[in-house]
Amino acid sequence: MVTSLENEAATREAALADKVRAQRDAMSTAQSRAIEASSGAVKEILDERGVVRMNGVMSARASEAILAYVEETLRVNDARGDGKNLSMEVFGNVYCKKNRWDIKLLDDKPVRMALEECVRSMGDALRAACGEDAKLVELAALVSDPGSTRQPVHPDTAYRRDPSVYTCFVALQDVDADMGPTLFIPGTNNAQAHAEFREGLERGGPVLQRPNELGLISRGDATLFDSRTLHCGTENASSRRRVLFYFSFQRTESDNPNAAVSTIRTELRDKYTLGDLLGA
C-alpha cells in the first residue's frame, strides 16, 4: 500500500512538472517585470488587475519575530525537503512539495502581532475590498527553500462572477528574482481569462502570453490579490530561504468552494472577522 501511494504521488508530481514545462514554453515570449506599487484606489486596481502591491505593511520587528517563529515551527515538526510525514493539522497542501511548505499558524503572540500590524496598515484597502464582516479564512506562511521547483500557473479560486477571497502575501525578507518570487498575470480575475485558460487546457493559449509581474518585494511589503487571479510560485534557484506570511479574508455571503480546505488551523475557522482584528 505504501509503495502504491508513493507511486501515485510520483505520478502526480511528474504530471505537474510536464504542465509547468508546457506553460513555460507558452510564456516564453511574454513580457515580465517587477510588480510596482500603485498610487490609485486599491479597490479599483484590484477590480481591474486582480493584484496590487502595498509597501511597508509590517515592521522590521514584527517580521523578524514571525520569521523566527516560522523557522522554529519547521524545526519542531522535522519538516524535510521531501514533504513526507507532515501533520495535516500543521501543514497545508501545496503544489510542488519539494523544499516547499505551507504552514498553518497558531494564534500565538508573534503571529497575532504580524497579523494585526498588517490589517491595520491595510485597513482602508481591506475594508473597501472585503467589508468589515469578512471572515479570516487563511492564516499561514509559505516557505520556499533552495531547490524548490516552479509551480503551475493556477487560480486559488475557480472563476465565479463575484470576488470571494482576497489574499495578502507579506515578505519576511527581501525577495530577489532568484528566490522564487510569486508570478502574477494581471487582469486574469475575470470570465474571459479563465475561459482562455480552460480552452488552452491550462497549458497554453493567449492568457499565458500576457505580460506578467513578479513579486520582487522588500521585507514588510505585500501583494494583495483577488484569489481568481492566475499566479504561481517560481523556482528558488538561490541559496536563501524565502518566507511569505499570508492571510485571506472571505467576503460575506460570497461563494468560496475551497472553504473546507483553506490553510488555517481548525480552532481559528470562523473565529475572526476583519472588524474584530481592526478593533483589537
Whole-model pTM?
A: 0.94
- Which pLDDT belongs to residue 230? 98
For the beta carbon of residue 208, count every other beta carbon within 10 angstroms.
Answer: 24
Mean pLDDT, consecutive 10-residue segments, the chain of 280 residues? 64 89 95 88 95 98 98 88 76 87 97 98 95 98 96 95 97 98 98 96 96 98 98 98 98 89 95 93
42, three cell numbers: 486599491
Q: Compute the residue count for the chain.
A: 280
Pair 16, 95: CB distance under 8 Å: yes
Sequence-separated (6 or more) residues with CB below 8 Å from residue 138: 165, 167, 246, 247, 248, 262, 263, 264
Q: Quick one: which of 101, 115, 110 has its CA closest to 168?
A: 115
- Which pLDDT belongs to residue 98? 87
Sequence-separated (6 or more) residues with CB below 8 Å from residue 118: 57, 58, 168, 170, 222, 245, 247
Pair 92, 134: CB distance under 8 Å: no
With both helix axes pointing from N to C terminus, report the angle between 109-121 and 123-130 in degrees, rounded to the nearest 10.
80
- Which pLDDT belongs to residue 81? 62
- Which pLDDT belongs to residue 8? 76
- Which pLDDT belongs to residue 92? 87
Q: How far apart are the C-alpha atoms of 118 and 112, rounded to whole Å?
A: 10
Q: How far apart are the C-alpha atoms of 96 and 93, rounded to whole Å?
A: 10
- Which pLDDT belongs to residue 87? 82
Domain spans, the chain:
2-278
Pair 55, 224: CB distance under 8 Å: no
CATH topology of domain 2-278: Jelly Rolls (2.60.120)
Sequence-separated (6 or more) residues with CB below 8 Å from residue 185: 153, 193, 207, 208, 210, 211, 212, 213, 229, 230, 231
205, three cell numbers: 493559449
- Which pLDDT belongs to residue 75? 92
Q: How far apart are the C-alpha atoms of 52 and 154, rounded to whole Å?
A: 18
Q: What's the Cα-to-Cα distance from 92 to each of 47, 112, 183, 185, 251, rounded to whole Å?
A: 28, 19, 20, 24, 22
53, three cell numbers: 502591491
Pair 261, 102: CB distance under 8 Å: no
Pair 83, 98: CB distance under 8 Å: yes
Q: How far apart are the C-alpha atoms of 177 and 236, rounded to whole Å?
A: 9
- Which pLDDT belongs to residue 5? 53
